[in-house]
Structure 1
Amino acid sequence: MENNSFDVNVELNIETFQSGELTRTKISEPGKFTQMGKSIYLRFNESLENGDKASILVKVTEDGEIHVKRVAKSTNLSSLLYFTHQEHNSGHLETEYGVMPLGTFTKDSKVEFKSNPLSGKINIDYDLIYDNNVIGNYKFRLIFSA
C-alpha cells in the first residue's frame, strides 16, 4: 500500500448562510497531506477563540466522495459529514448531550489535485439538513500546497 505524507499549507474558507445571516470563516494553518492507496487525506487544526484547537480531517475517496471530520475536544463537539456530488448523505454531530443526526445535500463538489508541485482544491456547495429542514447553506473552499 502506498503511503506518501507531505507537509502542506492549508487555506480553508467557509461561507455560511443561516437564518438570513451570512458568516465567513477563514482558516490558514499548516497541515499534512497523505495518500493511502487511492484515497487522500488532509489533516490540519483550526484555532478556536478560547486558544484551543479543533482537529479537521478531510478524506477524498477513490470514487470522489468527500468526508469531513471535525473534533473540538475543549467544547465536546465532533462532527462527521459526507459529501457526494448532487446526492443526499447522512452524518452526525456528537455533543456532550448525545448524537444529533445531520444530513447534507451536495449541490456541487469539485476536487482537483496536482502532484508536481503538490497542490489542490476541494470545493463543496451544500445544504445542511436537520429533521428534514435545511438549516444552512454552505460554501466550503479548501486550497492546499506543499
Structure 2
Amino acid sequence: MDEQKAGTPIAIHLQTEIKQDDDITSYKLDVQGRLVQMGQTIYIRYVEQDPESDYQPVPVTMKLSANGDVQLTRSAENRLRLLFKAGKRIRAQYQTPFGSIPVETVTPLLDVSFRDRPFGGNVKIDYNLYANGELVGDYKIRLQFTA
C-alpha cells in the first residue's frame, strides 16, 4: 500500500460536550489515528472505543475540505454522516437497523487550523442537532492532532 493511501500516523486528542436539556455529558479520547491527504482535502481517521462500555468500536472519519467545510462520518451499526458549514442548516440521515431518521445540523462555530512543525491542527465545531424539527442537543467537538 502506498503512503498516500496508508496515511501518516497521528496522535489525536478529542473532547466532546453534549448538552441535552439541563444535562451535560463530556467525553475525552486520546487515540492513534491516520491522516490521509488527497489533493486539498485532508481525512482524519480513527476508532472510538470506550473501554468502560460494551459498545463495539466505531470507525470515524473527519473530512476537512479546502473550502472550510467539515464532514463527520461514524460507520458502525448506526451510520451517521454530518456535514458542517459555518452558519448553515444542513440535512442528513441517521441510518439505524430500524430505518433512516432525518436529522439537521446548525453550525454556529466551525474553525479548522493547521501548523507546520510538527504538522498538526485543531478542529473546533459547535453544532445544534435536530431530529423531526426538535432540538436533540447542543454539541461541541474539539479535536487536536499531531503527526
Task: Specify if TM > 0.5.
Answer: yes
Q: Could you tell me which residue of structure 2 aligns to residue 22 of structure 1?
A: 24
From 42, 51, 54, the equivalent of 1:40 is 42
Taking every aligned residue pair, what percent have the same amino acid on both sides? 27
Q: 2: CA distance between counterparts of 1:51 and 1:78?
A: 14
Matched residue SS, 1:58: strand
Report the AA paired with residue 141 of structure 1: R
RMSD: 1.5
Q: Could you tell me which residue of structure 2 aligns to residue 113 of structure 1?
A: 114
Contact 1:9 1:28 in 2 (8 A): yes
Q: Could you tell me which residue of structure 2 aligns to residue 66 of structure 1?
A: 70
Match status 1:126 vs 2:127: yes
Residue 78 and residue 3 in structure 1: after superposition, are their counterparts in 2 closer, same or farther (change >3 A)? Answer: closer
Contact 1:56 1:68 in 2 (8 A): yes
Q: 2: CA distance between counterparts of 1:3 and 1:38?
A: 15
**Structure with the largest fraction of strand:** 1
Report the AA paired with residue 82 of structure 2: L
Q: Report the alpha carbon displacement of residue 110 of structure 1 after superposing the two structures with TM.
A: 0.3
Q: Could you tell me which residue of structure 2 aligns to residue 6 of structure 1?
A: 8
Q: Could you tell me which residue of structure 1 aligns to residue 93 of structure 2?
A: 92
Q: 1: CA distance between counterparts of 2:63 and 2:43?
A: 4
TM-score by length of 2: 0.91
Q: 2: CA distance between counterparts of 1:62 and 1:41?
A: 11
Task: In structure 1, list runs of 5 or more residues that go unmatched.
Answer: none
* Misfit runs of 4+, over 3 Å: none
Q: Report the alpha carbon displacement of residue 19 of structure 1 after superposing the two structures with TM.
A: 2.3
Aligned residues: 142
